[in-house]
Chains A and B, each alone.
Chain A
Amino acid sequence: MCLAAATPPSIELEGGVFRVSGWTAPPTPPAKGWPQIFAVYAGFGSIPPMLGSYAVEKGSLVFRPAFPLAAGVRYRAVFHPPAGPDIERIFDSPLKQTTPAARVESVYPSGALLPSNLLRLYVYFSAPMTQGEAFRCLHLLDEKGKDLPGVFLPGEELWDPESKRLTMTFDPGRIKRGLTSNVAIGPPIVEGRHYTLVIDRMWPDAHGLPLVESYRRSFRGGPAQRTKPDPARWRVAAPAAGTSAALAVTFSEPMNYVLLKRMIEVVRGDRVVASSVIIDQNEARWLFTPRDPWKPGDYRLVIDSALEDLAGNSIAHAFDIDVFEQVTEHLTATKISLPFSVK
């Protein structure tokens, strides 16, 4: 262990790695470990040092943080040489981006009339967002512009892995018939009333920047959807053989957008037909365009019985079943087939 004669020791940061230069490190750490000699702090005051690993490379002591350096943080590296005064150096990490770019792309369900027992909303953002902000930045307003309290399941944001799609659940205690909340304050949405969904511009994206603009959408409360979707009542308009025209399936009510994207397939024989799918008419129609032209013959729509409408009623069972009114049916099949022919 010795001090290099020519230049005093210094601390450098390169490629996210902190290095003590001008000091020849011993090959083994001191008794209490390298942090006793060299530590990096994410800020000031009495805080623990950053997690990371130490190594001696070409005679220099280096510290690799366990996590990449974050934007907008001041890092303080402190070297306590065995002899001589301490050396401290401050490093500013890269600045945060400053130009907002994220916006709300769409919200499902998309209709202007939504059932009073609507169960879920799906908000699509154009860029990854900061989580844990919905209760500050997402509002449901009544006709007078008043923020409605207790509409959504408290404290529950469900995100996709990319942090771009948020699922919000309306308080099921207010939707399910007979529960204290339902009886005392009623469902979150009332038939005939007008509502506005507002997403504030201040919602930070993953870089901490606000949205480009706020989002507003109005809708009216409609009748509750209480029954199971029934594929037997769907209209299936088969296209002509030899064309690549879209197969159109029209539902008897709007369906859950995100489930529609993966819960219906077209099968010929035992093979799934490759395609692209468009969902329109406020999620009441499913348009299936095959990659190759239709061949004459028999096809099947294969539908997952977990497919739901807007109120959480799946093909297998309704969201809340009134056992006084109907026999509790339990569909055991997980897939339902609807045959159609192409001529």
Chain B
Amino acid sequence: MNRRILGVLFVLTLVALAFAVADTTKPANLTASLSPGKVDLKSAGALAFGPDGILFVGDSVGGAVVELDTNDRTAGGGAGLHVDGIDAKIAAMAGVTPDQIAINDVKVNPISKKVYVSAMRGRGPDAQPMIVRVNAAGEVANVSLDDTKHASVNLTDTPDPNPGARQDPRMMTITDMAYVSGNLMVAGLSNEEWSSALRSIPVPFKSAEKGATLQIWHSSHGRYETQSPVRTFVPYNIAGQPYMLAAYTCTPLVKIPVNMLKPGEKVKGVTIADLGAGNQPLDMVPYRKEGHDYILIANSSRGLVKLRADGVASAAAIDSPTKVDGPAGIPYDKLDLKNVQQLAAFDAGHAVVLIGQPGAGPSFNPGQPRGPLTLQTIALP
């Protein structure tokens, strides 16, 4: 091999190295602070994706949120996903029967379009967390937590007041999370006190940084005020301004300007829709189609609905219960797809849904969905 060829090879190697470095340094902004090692998750609940393939996992039992590097940064696509019996597949991998698998959340990596599913193996105190990812071909793979770059934030504020007890019975169940403008927003419900705060944690996580807590209030008719926990929410842009579209536990759907979310300030959302009695919004996917804005909402008892959201920007607060016999506020259409248990954004034209059979309870409140569960993409209506 002569010197010239060696020189060309050297230059090519440098170029290749430069690309390799570029590929890893781009996401390293967020992943650089993460440390490799075994991820100590006690439960796997709410999921959220940040930039660069970062996955946030809510661990309610462990009282923590974990930031994981999925190392899944190869662009993908293809909205033809359809996996029947996803619960049976996860159960087989975990060595149990499908009734022992509880699927807690479904989210899509916005880069690779792989679908991530958090689940618990077992339904009692010995239940163990699992995270799996499903590729476009429908293949289900375990996301190993044994040696993964990660960081975590412990959300427990106070030491155990009763150290003699085996475990502190207090728990904050993380009901939803989303990455908004450099922060992870975390909504939760306490199993003891009613008032619970929305938390905003700067990303990347730093171990001592629990983030600011934001007191979220709800007002009805300008007359009654409640400190009401947010159950589910989604980042939303209105006229170029960042908002949160949130559902309180007391049902109303509200819009909250993100710049109002300041520690120590009382934050009140503006109610834009009330989806009616005996119902809870489970997941929301905002999208734009043919020049109009919509929000797809999966509900616990009202099924899948499409909110016509062109008026969200200008929507006045609902200030009187004018339609007491049904949903009030922004108009919406009910869709035919039944038994949607989880809903997440897939791409500009698609969402991914987890569909099950209604639970065994009475029709007004069927409870835990039954298998077999189907994971599939749907075209946004």
State which of A2-10, A46-54, A234-242 sits at the interface with chain B.
Answer: A46-54
A164 and B166 alpha carbons, distance in the complex (Å): 12
* B277 and A173 form a contact (CB under 8 A): yes
- A sample of 17 inter-chain contacts (CB < 8 A) reads A40-B95, A47-B89, A49-B93, A69-B95, A130-B124, A132-B102, A136-B359, A136-B368, A154-B280, A172-B228, A176-B228, A176-B250, A179-B220, A184-B325, A259-B193, A321-B226, A322-B224
Residue of A nearest to B88 (CB): A47
How long is the Cα–Cα vector from A207 to B125 in the complex, in angstroms?
Answer: 10
Closest to B141 in A: A48
B97 touching A73, Cβ below 8 Å: yes
Beyond contacts A153-B280, A155-B280: 14 other A-B pairs, Cβ-Cβ < 8 A, are A41-B92, A42-B95, A67-B96, A120-B194, A131-B123, A135-B368, A154-B300, A154-B365, A158-B173, A160-B171, A172-B226, A173-B251, A207-B124, A321-B224
B367 contacts A262, C-beta separation under 8 Å: no
The 7 closest A-B pairs by CB, nearest first: A206-B124, A135-B367, A150-B278, A47-B92, A158-B191, A132-B368, A160-B169
Cβ B194 vs Cβ A319 within 8 A: yes
A181 within 8 A of B: yes
Q: Does A34 contact B (CB under 8 A)?
A: no
Q: How far is the CA of A177 from the CA of B280 in the complex (A)?
A: 18
Chain B positions within 8 Å of A161 at CB level: 42, 61, 125, 167-169, 171
| Interfacial residues, chain A to chain B (CB-CB below 8 A) | 40-43, 47-51, 65-67, 69-70, 72-73, 75, 119-120, 128-136, 147, 149-150, 152-156, 158-165, 167, 169, 171-181, 183-185, 205-207, 256, 258-259, 261-262, 306, 308, 312, 314, 316-317, 319-324, 328, 330
Q: A135-B367, A181-B251 are known contacts. Are A328 and B124 too (CB-CB below 8 A)? A: no
On whether the beta carbons of A180 and B225 are closer than 8 Å, the reply is no
Distance between Cα atoms of A322 and B221 in the complex (Å): 10
Smallest CB gap from B189: residue in A = A158
Q: How far is the CB of B188 from chain A (nearest CB, A)?
A: 10
Asked if residues B228 and A158 are in contact (CB atoms below 8 Å), the reply is no
Q: How far is the CA of A258 from the CA of B91 in the complex (A)?
A: 36
The interface residues of chain A lying within 8 Å CB-to-CB of B125 are 128, 161-164, 206
Give the distance to chain B from A133, nearest Cβ to Cβ, in Å. Answer: 7
Residues of B within 8 A of A259 (CB): 192-193
Q: Are A258 and B169 in contact (CB under 8 A)?
A: yes
Q: Which of A67, A176, A262 meets B226, CB within 8 Å?
A: A176
Known contacts being A128-B124, A156-B189, is A165 close to B277, with CB within 8 Å? no
* The residue from A67, A152, A167 contacting B95, defined by CB atoms under 8 A apart: A67
Q: How many residues of B contact A (CB 8 A)?
A: 78
B278 adjacent to A149 (CB under 8 Å): yes
Specify the chain A residue showing the minimal Cβ separation from B162: A262
A182 to nearest B CB, angstroms? 8
**B359/A180 in contact, CB under 8 A:** no
Give B132 Cβ to nearest chain A Cβ, in Å.
10
Would you call B126 an interface residue if the criterion is a C-beta within 8 Å of the partner chain's C-beta atoms? Answer: yes
B contact residues around A169 at 8 Å (CB) = 189, 249
Complex contact B61–A149 (CB within 8 A): no
* Bound CA span A250–B313, Å: 51
A206 CA / B279 CA spacing, docked (Å): 28
Counting chain B CB atoms within 10 Å of each CB, which of A129, A173, A185, A205 scores highest? A173
- Alpha-carbon distance between A264 and B362 when the two chains are bound, in angstroms: 41
- CA of A341 to CA of B157 in the docked complex: distance in angstroms? 32
Which residues from chain B contact A175 at a C-beta distance below 8 Å? Answer: 250
- Asked if B357 lies at the interface with its beta carbon under 8 angstroms from chain A, I say no
Residues B167 and A162 in contact, CB atoms below 8 Å apart: yes
Q: List the A side residues contacting B292 at CB < 8 Å.
A: none
Kindly list chain B residues whose C-beta atoms are within 8 Å of the C-beta of A135.
359, 361, 365-368
Q: Are A147 and B227 within 8 A (Cβ)?
A: no
Q: With A and B bound together, what is the CA distance between A261 and B170 in angstroms?
A: 11
| Known A119-B194, A173-B277, A184-B277; contact A262-B223, beta-carbon cutoff 8 A | no
Closest to A321 in B: B225
What residues of chain B have their CB less than 8 Å away from a CB belonging to chain A?
42, 61, 88-89, 91-97, 100, 102, 121-126, 128, 140, 142, 161-162, 166-171, 173, 189-195, 218, 220-228, 248-252, 266, 274, 276-280, 282, 300-301, 321, 323-325, 327-328, 359-362, 364-368
Evaluate contact between B96 and A73: CB separation under 8 angstroms. Answer: yes
Given A149-B278, A161-B167, A321-B225: A173 touches B250 (CB 8 Å cut-off): yes
A182 to B190, CA, bound (A): 23
Q: Complex Cα distance A305/B47, Å?
A: 33
A169 to B192, CA, bound (A): 10
Q: Is A159 touching B92 in the complex (CB atoms < 8 A)?
A: no
Q: Which B residues are CB-close (under 8 A) to A180?
A: 251, 274, 276-277, 321, 323-324, 327-328
- Chain A residue nearest to B220 in the complex (CB): A178
In Å, the complex CA distance between A175 and B94 comes to: 42
Given A135-B359, A180-B276, verify A160-B220 contact (CB < 8 Å): no
Interface centre among B128, B218, B223, B228 (most CB of A within 10 A): B223
Are B249 and A172 in contact (CB-based, < 8 A)?
A: yes
In whole angstroms, what is the CA distance A66 to B170 when docked? 29
Q: Are A308 and B193 in contact (CB under 8 A)?
A: yes
Known pairs A129-B124, A180-B328; A171 contacts B278 (CB<8 A): yes
Output the nearest chain B residue to A40 by Cβ-Cβ distance: B95
Q: Distance in Å from the Cβ of A38 to the closest Cβ of chain B? A: 15
Residue among A42, A153, A161 facing the most chain B CB atoms (10 A cut-off): A161
CB-defined contacts of B94 to chain A, threshold 8 Å: 42, 50-51, 66-67
B124 contacts across to A, CB distance below 8 A: 128-131, 163, 205-207
CB pair B166–A162 under 8 Å, yes or no, is yes
What is the bound-complex CA distance between A73 and B122, given in angstroms? 13
Within the complex, what minimum Cβ distance (angstroms) separates A149 from chain B? 4
- CA–CA, A167 to B60, complex, Å? 15
The answer to whether A320 and B278 have CB atoms under 8 Å apart is: no
B92 with A154: CB separation less than 8 A: no
Known: A47-B92, A50-B94, A178-B221. A153 touches B192 (CB 8 A): no
Q: Is the CB of B93 within 8 A of A51?
A: yes
Could you say which residues of chain A place their CB within 8 Å of the CB of B194? 119-120, 308, 312, 314, 319
With a CB–CB cut-off of 8 A, which chain B residues contact A164?
A: 125
Q: When the two chains form their complex, are residues B224 and A174 in contact, meaning their CB atoms are under 8 A apart?
A: no
The answer to whether B276 touches A181 (Cβ under 8 A) is yes
Chain B residues near A262 (CB, 8 Å)? 161-162, 170
Note all chain A residues with C-beta closer than 8 A to B89. 47-48
Q: Which of B142, B224, B360 contacts A51 (CB 8 A)?
A: B142
